[in-house]
Chain A
Amino acid sequence: MIHFDAELLNSTLRLATPLILAALGGVLCERSGVVNIALEGMMLAGAFFGMLGSYWTGNPWVGMLLGAAAGGAFGLVHAFLTQRMKLNHIVSGVALNIFALGLTTYLLRKLFMHAGGSPPVNGLPMWNLPGLGEQNPLTELALAGTLLMTPFLWRTPQGLRLRAVGENPEAALAAGIRVGRVRFAAVIAGGLLGGLSGVYLSLGQLNMFAEGMSGGRGFIALAAVIFGRWTPLGAAGAALFFGFFDALQMRLQGQTVGGVVIPSEFMLMLPYLLTIVALAGFAGKAVAPAALGNDEATASN
């Protein structure tokens, strides 16, 4: 009934790409000790400004940079609110998500005099990836990022410091590390990746922006971070897992089991259901960065 073919693999990669990018951003941010439920908003902002950049210039690459920058800007605000203003990380994240939805919806209607979606814009061209065929450059970036982030976190001084401020900021401070600076860098970098994941939605898949087009993927990416135990490989693996079930539900729509048509609503629910099952089953055993959400050491003297 199900054929594991190149097409299924391709659609898995397609659907997993934004999840992987956002999850990698989430890993960077949370490893530094800053809770990031703002991924959803970063993604949505990235999608909108990616589209806008491409619409203004006709160049999708400019769109990509603008979308990434928008995500980075959200990261900057999140870092400022949590580290400088000592705002609760969850509160800041929720606020940014709501702000992103409001901002993009407002700008869309204001700039295009049109509710629901933007006009079509130029999307990113496909690149040929050996072994994987034609792929979006952002898919390639997601895969490369997954492979590079592990040595970055565990083998470089910067990675060691990033993990240190997430585990015990007081100890990191006493070891001579500028805790606030490391966290700002990590959260902004996470925002850039979150923005890129949104760019993939608008310039990699639909070549347009639709209101609320992130559709909860930021939260699924966050689930992938937890499911993947805050490691790049684990988070990307979890994102692929979710992507696979998303691809599967598309494939299974309209299929019959024992003569009964499976309602498409049930199939659409499947990836989310699996997210809950995966989190309930694995999150309890997951080892979060010890100082996730702790801002004591960044307080001024």
Chain B
Amino acid sequence: MENTPAVEMIGITKRFSGVAANEGVDFTASWGELHALIGENGAGKSTLMNLLYGLHIPDSGEIKVGGDSVRIADPRDAIALGIGMVHQHFMLIPAFTALENIVLGAETAKLGLTDFRAAEAKVLATGERFGLRVDLHKKVADLSVSAQQKVEILKALYRDARILILDEPTSVLAPQEAESLFEMLRRMVAEGMCVILISHKLNDVISYADRVTVLRRGRVVASLETGQTCPEELTRMMVGEDVPTAEPQKASVVGEGAVLKVRDLSVRGRSGRALDSVSFDIRPGEVLGVAGVDGNGQRELAEALVGLTRSTGTITLGGVDISGMSVRGRLEQGMAYVPEDRRFALAPDFSILDNSILGFHRGFAYHGILDLDEMVERADELIGRNDIRASGPGAPVKSLSGGNRQKLVLGRALIGEPTILIACQPTMGLDVHATAEIHRRLLAECTRGAGVLLISYDLDEILALSHRVLVMYQGRVAGVLTREEASREKVGAMMLGAKA
């Protein structure tokens, strides 16, 4: 068994409405190997693994598992072949307990009733073996993100998976949590399992994986031992050219005073406070980065600041108390907002034209009728100024790439020269070039004198752009560090509850 590869995918092609996501891909992973699959967003990594897990069916090509040619029509087939997958967006049922989630679809029954006791014994034994500990009787909705990830892994192991696929597992974890995840994966590999890791964190790939396969635009660029390469070479392979240094130049001049003053901001959550007495200032020309593991109050903070959520406490913008104002009032006071999910910023079926005035539409209406010429002017201005690649202002937003959509969202938010910009996950899912462009725009706002609140789950992004770093833990401010104080290790520990 050790001599035949665990997984062989030969000449795999998969198209979605004519666009090739995978084109003649050859991929091989062995038993006892941690195999990293890397590439830019849209390179086809997740598609390839979804084909292996039966969520899609390849248009052509052959899949072999353990040396045998197989047909995987749905996840049932994959599970039967010993394949497990931990998706980037967890496939869990929040209203069910951890144990119910784990046994779901693979239940054993006694007299017709689900045998939860036997299941629990098996799960505990598996957890013991790999160092996975989760409260099995808690509802998944009440578990932390890293605990939910453990539930996903246990789910695969409960089904006796020997091939485990993980899609971007570390993007939601604090550095220390990521490290223990990798230790666990190494243990599985040491037991002879095959672990396939989709990632874009090249340092992790070099440190922990045995082999790496690089995808670019749906094709395999290279497959090599991690010992024979370096992050720079991998980046070049992923992007297809040399990338200018990712580290952007920070605006050096941070002004005096505060554009935004937040005092004792609290938001009630499902149980207790989702946001608990948060206070901070942002100075003109400053990027305040908000670091933290997903779900520690960042979303509530952004929504409370913009006025989408009811909150207590005071928010002062440019000397004006905006705490009692509506969303519209706050925007008119000079606030701009880039939401975490672009679906909340754009109407995908609308044209660029319509989307470019959303939220500013009152300024385009005369006697209740929208002025089309002015709208076209605005849309053309946004397209030109932000380098948005589109067939024209009439193109539906859903036809744009993620990067162009985000350029539109950001460009629209910045058109009124706001004094404070709340940017949530502004580069999530974007490729290297779009990310660099968004970063450049954010820093340009600082140079203009605006303050930026940057909320991101990507610690590297926070550290690259911020003048100061505010760390959130369980709805509270765990501490505010200057850029010099904010090391990865220190911020990571605070993300997990350590005091500053």
Contact residues of A with B, CB < 8 Å?
151, 155-157, 160-161, 163-164, 167-168, 170-178, 287, 290, 301
A residues in contact with B91, CB < 8 Å: 168, 170-171, 174-175
C-alpha spacing A160/B79, complex, angstroms = 19
C-alpha spacing A301/B50, complex, angstroms = 11
CB within 8 Å for A171 and B75 given contacts A156-B113, A156-B114, A301-B55: no
Report the contact-size class of chain B (Cβ under 8 Å from the partner): 20 to 34
Q: Of B21-29, B103-111, B297-305, B310-318, which stretch is located at the interface? A: B103-111
**Contact for B155 among A160, A175, A177, CB less than 8 A:** A175
Within 8 A of A (CB), among B121-157: 155
C-alpha spacing A112/B155, complex, angstroms = 60
Q: Of B92-100, B213-221, B365-373, which stretch is located at the interface? A: B92-100
C-alpha spacing A301/B53, complex, angstroms = 12
Q: A156-B114, A167-B93 are in contact. List 12 more A-B contacts (CB 8 A).
A: A155-B113, A160-B100, A164-B93, A168-B91, A173-B55, A174-B53, A174-B55, A174-B85, A174-B91, A175-B104, A178-B74, A301-B74
Give the Cβ gap from A173 to chain B, nearest Cβ, in Å: 6
Give the Cβ gap from B161 to chain A, nearest Cβ, in Å: 11
Give the Cβ gap from B102 to chain A, nearest Cβ, in Å: 9
Contact residues of B with A, CB < 8 Å?
53, 55-57, 73-76, 79, 85, 87, 90-96, 100-101, 103-107, 109, 112-114, 155, 159
B residues in contact with A287, CB < 8 Å: 95
A164 touches B104 (CB 8 A): yes
A290 touches B105 (CB 8 A): no
A157 touches B75 (CB 8 A): no
A155 touches B155 (CB 8 A): no
A residues in contact with B101, CB < 8 Å: 171, 175
B residues in contact with A290, CB < 8 Å: 93-95
- Residue on A with the closest CB to B90? A171
CB within 8 Å for A161 and B104 given contacts A167-B95, A168-B92, A178-B76: yes
- Residue on A with the closest CB to B95? A167
C-alpha spacing A172/B113, complex, angstroms = 19
B57 touches A168 (CB 8 A): no
Q: Can you list 25 residue pairs at the A/B interface with Cβ under 8 Å?
A: A151-B113, A155-B114, A156-B109, A156-B112, A157-B107, A164-B93, A164-B96, A164-B104, A167-B95, A168-B94, A170-B91, A171-B93, A172-B104, A173-B55, A174-B85, A175-B91, A175-B104, A175-B155, A176-B106, A177-B105, A178-B74, A178-B76, A290-B93, A301-B55, A301-B74
C-alpha spacing A176/B113, complex, angstroms = 19
CB within 8 Å for A174 and B75 given contacts A155-B114, A156-B113, A301-B56: yes
B residues in contact with A163, CB < 8 Å: 96
A residues in contact with B79, CB < 8 Å: 176
- Residue on A with the closest CB to B116? A155
C-alpha spacing A177/B106, complex, angstroms = 9
C-alpha spacing A43/B322, complex, angstroms = 56
C-alpha spacing A241/B457, complex, angstroms = 50
C-alpha spacing A199/B73, complex, angstroms = 42
B114 touches A160 (CB 8 A): yes
- Residue on A with the closest CB to B87? A174
B85 touches A301 (CB 8 A): no
Dominant SS among interface residues on chain B: loop
Which of A156, A167, A171, A177 has the most B CB atoms < 10 Å from its CB? A171
- Residue on B with the closest CB to A157? B107
- Residue on A with the closest CB to B109? A157
User: Top 10 closest A-B pairs, CB basis?
Assistant: A157-B107, A175-B105, A174-B91, A171-B91, A176-B105, A176-B76, A167-B93, A177-B105, A176-B79, A168-B93
B residues in contact with A168, CB < 8 Å: 91-94
C-alpha spacing A164/B102, complex, angstroms = 12
A residues in contact with B95, CB < 8 Å: 167, 287, 290
B residues in contact with A178, CB < 8 Å: 74, 76
C-alpha spacing A167/B100, complex, angstroms = 13
C-alpha spacing A155/B114, complex, angstroms = 6
B residues in contact with A172, CB < 8 Å: 93, 104-105
B55 touches A167 (CB 8 A): no
CB within 8 Å for A176 and B109 given contacts A164-B96, A164-B104, A168-B92: no
C-alpha spacing A170/B155, complex, angstroms = 15
A residues in contact with B75, CB < 8 Å: 173-176
A residues in contact with B112, CB < 8 Å: 156
B residues in contact with A171, CB < 8 Å: 90-93, 101
- Residue on B with the closest CB to A168? B93
B residues in contact with A156, CB < 8 Å: 109, 112-114
B residues in contact with A160, CB < 8 Å: 100, 103-104, 107, 114
- Residue on B with the closest CB to A173? B75
A177 touches B113 (CB 8 A): no
Give the Cβ gap from A200 to chain B, nearest Cβ, in Å: 28
A residues in contact with B73, CB < 8 Å: 301
CB within 8 Å for A301 and B57 given contacts A156-B112, A156-B114, A176-B159: yes
C-alpha spacing A161/B103, complex, angstroms = 10
- Residue on B with the closest CB to A167? B93
CB within 8 Å for A173 and B113 given contacts A157-B107, A168-B92, A168-B93: no
Give the Cβ gap from B63 to chain A, nearest Cβ, in Å: 14
Which of A170, A175, A177 has the most B CB atoms < 10 Å from its CB? A175
A residues in contact with B100, CB < 8 Å: 160
**Contact for B105 among A151, A161, A167, A301, CB less than 8 A:** A161
- Residue on B with the closest CB to A170? B91
A residues in contact with B55, CB < 8 Å: 173-174, 301
A residues in contact with B96, CB < 8 Å: 163-164, 167
A residues in contact with B159, CB < 8 Å: 176
B residues in contact with A301, CB < 8 Å: 55-57, 73-74
A residues in contact with B76, CB < 8 Å: 176, 178
C-alpha spacing A172/B103, complex, angstroms = 11
- Residue on A with the closest CB to B53? A174
C-alpha spacing A156/B109, complex, angstroms = 7
A157 touches B74 (CB 8 A): no
C-alpha spacing A174/B91, complex, angstroms = 7
Give the Cβ gap from A32 to chain B, nearest Cβ, in Å: 13
Give the Cβ gap from A297 to chain B, nearest Cβ, in Å: 10
C-alpha spacing A290/B93, complex, angstroms = 9
C-alpha spacing A171/B90, complex, angstroms = 8
B residues in contact with A174, CB < 8 Å: 53, 55, 75, 85, 87, 91
A residues in contact with B56, CB < 8 Å: 301
